[in-house]
Every structure is written in C-alpha cells, then in structure tokens.
Amino acid sequence: MKIATHNPGALETRLRESRKLGRKILVPYITGGLAGWLDAIRGAAANGADAIEVGIPFSDPVMDGPIIQMASEKALRDGATPTSILHELRSVDVDVPLIVMCYYNTVFRAGHDRFANSLRESGVVAAIVPDLPLEESAQWAVAADKALIETVMLAAPTAPDERLPRVIDRARGFVYAVGLLGVTGERTELATTAVAMATRLKKITDMPVLVGVGVSNAEQAKQACSVADGVIQGASVVRRLLEDGADSVANYVAEVRAAIDSPVASKR
C-alpha cells in the first residue's frame, strides 16, 4: 500500500474524513443545464450525497451511453454552455464539494488556466476529464493544481498492474475505479470487474477509491461498497431527472444512502 504524498485538497479531505467515520461515499452525477438540474443538486445534497459530479454537456461524449447522451443533447439544445453552467452553479449553496465532469475539448478550447480558474470561481473543487489519460494530462494537471482544482484520475480494468501506481500518483480527490469495460449506463447486474477493480486499487493506495460506470441501483451500490470506499451513480440518476424531475433524484439518493449505510448482511 502506498501512502499518498500530495496535500489533500477540499474534496479528498472531506472524503477521507467520511471514510474515517465509517461512512461509505455517495457521488451522484447530474447533467448540467438539464431542466431541474439545480434542484436536483440541492435535493441530492440534502439526502445523503457526499459530493456531486456535474456534467458539462459535450457534442461527442464517447464515454457515455444512451441516457447521458440524451441528457447532453437535450441540455445543449436548451442552450447550455460551459459558461452558463458554471455561472448558475455559483447560485447553488450546498454543503458538499462540487466536481465537474467534462470532455477535454471543453478545457482545451477555453484554455487550461482559464478553465481551471473559472471552475474555482464557481466553487468547484475537482474535475474529471474522461478522455484525458495520464500521458496527455500534464498541461491540464499543472493548471488545475495551481488553481486548487483536484483532478480525479480514472483507473480501468484493462490497465496492467504496472500502470495503476502511475495513474494513482497523478490522482487527486479520489481514484475513479471504472466498474466495467464499456460506457456509462444502467446494467441489470453489477459487473464482476467492479469489485475486482476496487480490490486491486485498495491494495495499493490509501486514497479514497470510488467505483463508477455501471453501478445502477441501491443494491449494486451496496455490493460495490463491500470493497470500495464509495460509488458514483450517473445514468440511474440522470434517467430519473429526465423522466420524473428533481424530486425523484432526491428520493433515489436517499434510497441509495440508506442501502450503503445498512450493515452488510454477510460476506460473500
């Protein structure tokens, strides 16, 4: 196990504290600019989310499945831009850290420093850029570090053992364990890779390890949390926002919270 040597930022500090208290971490994902998204953030924060991931919609989201694609297209059609989303985020007064998820062209087009600073000014503390792998991340990482934006790195099931420590070294906030081979979206069962990935990572790092991609309901969240420090839930949250509005997001977050808080019945 490797102990992280960087100074933990606001997000990582918060997640480490939760972990120390024995609390599993829940991070819902909400597409920015989608009707009701600000209320969904407030509802999620009030019902047990430990941090919230806000997606900035992109025209070509290659890591996303049908639900988040649909949400992105809808938000873009309604006129959402990175600027409008970050501006509106300032009005959200919630007590949990905000993380932005965006594709790299959004960052590149704005300029690394300018984008990092605009996140900071909107009260965002961390960023996830799913198409910016370790080898391409240097420029952004420098700008993000300078602006005190924690860059969450993804660790995928395809990574050989020698790669994982290098990814973890560059990770800030938490390590995002990709739960399966595939894009975001709900699945009927938790892939075996989810727990396997969390196990591989927990063995080699003391950073918080959260599983995302394919964690589709309360039951699956609980399963993933048997090893991981927490979960990220995307498509299952966004689908509820699309279909039933912000209240259903709040209810769902409460349901998942209750499930991961309940004691583990038996070890499998």
Partner 1 sequence: MNAKPVPSELLTPGADGRFGEFGGRFVPETLVPACEELERAFNEAWNDSIFRTELDDLLREYAGRPSILTECHNLGAQLGIRLILKREDLNHTGSHKINSVLGQALLAKRMGKKRIIAETGAGQHGVASATAAALLGLECKVYMGAVDVERQSLNVFRMKLLGATVEAANSGSRTLKDAVNEAMRDWVASVETSYYCIGSVMGPHPYPFMVRQFQSVIGKEARKQFREMCDGADPNVVVACVGGGSNAMGIFSGFVDAKTRLVGVEPAGGAAVGRGTPGVVHGMKSYLMQDEYGQVQEAHSISAGLDYPGVGPEHSYLASVGRAEYPSVNDQEVIEGFKLLARTEGIIPALECAHAVAWIAKEAPKIQGQTVLMNLSGRGDKDVAQMMTILSDELN
Question: What is the spatial distance between Cα 46 and Cα 55, in angstroms, rounded to a whole number?
Answer: 19
Q: Specify whether 64 is catalytic.
A: yes
Closest to 120 in 3D by CA, of 86, 88, 153: 86
Q: With binding defined as CB under 8 A, does residue 169 bind partner 1?
A: no
- Nearest approach, Cβ of residue 25 and partner 1 (Å): 20
Select 96 or 209, whichever has its Cβ closest to partner 1: 209
81 vs 226, beta carbon nearer partner 1: 81
81 near partner 1, rule: CB under 8 A: yes
What are the φ and ψ backbone dihedral angles of 242, each rounded to 5 degrees?
-65, -45
* Other Cβ atoms closer than 10 A to 197: 28
How many residues belong to the site for partner 1 (CB under 8 A)? 40
Under the criterion CB under 8 A, does residue 134 sit at the interface with partner 1? yes
Cα-flanking dihedrals φ and ψ of residue 214, to 5°?
A: 85, 10
Options 36, 123, 133, 245; binder of partner 1; rule CB under 8 A: 133
Q: How many CB atoms lie within 10 A of CB 231?
A: 28
Provide the token pair at 232: 């990220």
CB 99 → partner 1: shortest distance, Å? 17
Length of the chain: 268
CB of 79 to partner 1, least distance (A): 11
Output 199 or 226, the one with its CB closest to partner 1: 199
**C-alpha pair distances (Å), 173 with each of 6, 8, 181, 202, 255:** 10, 7, 23, 15, 25
CA atoms of 23 and 241, how far apart (whole Å): 26
Judged by CB under 8 A, the residue of 109, 146, 170, 203 near partner 1 is 109
Task: Name the active-site residue from 12, 50, 60, 64.
Answer: 64
53 counts as catalytic? yes
Least separation in angstroms between residue 211's CB and partner 1 is: 14
- Cβ proximity to partner 1: between 132 and 144 the closer is 132
In the numeric block, the tokens 């063995």 are attached to 203
- Binding partner 1 (rule: CB under 8 A), the pick from 9, 82, 212, 234 is 82
Q: Which of 4, 255, 11 is nearest to 150 (CA)?
A: 11
- Among 173, 62, 113, smallest CA distance to 154 is for 173
Bridge partners (DSSP) of residue 183 are none
| Contact between 59 and partner 1 per CB under 8 A | yes
110 alpha-carbon distance from chain centroid: 22
Exactly one of 12, 53, 150, 186 is catalytic; name it: 53
Near partner 1 in 144-163, by CB under 8 A: 153-160, 163
Kindly state whether residue 108 participates in binding partner 1, applying the rule CB under 8 A. Answer: yes
In the bound complex, what is the minimum distance in angstroms from residue 69's beta carbon to partner 1?
Answer: 6
- Which of 13, 104, 113, 117 binds partner 1 (CB under 8 A)? It is 104
Query: CB-side exposure of 68: number of CA atoms within 13 Å?
Result: 29
Footprint of partner 1 on this chain (CB under 8 A)?
Answer: 58-63, 65, 69, 73, 76, 81-83, 104-106, 108-110, 130-136, 153-160, 163, 167, 178, 181-183
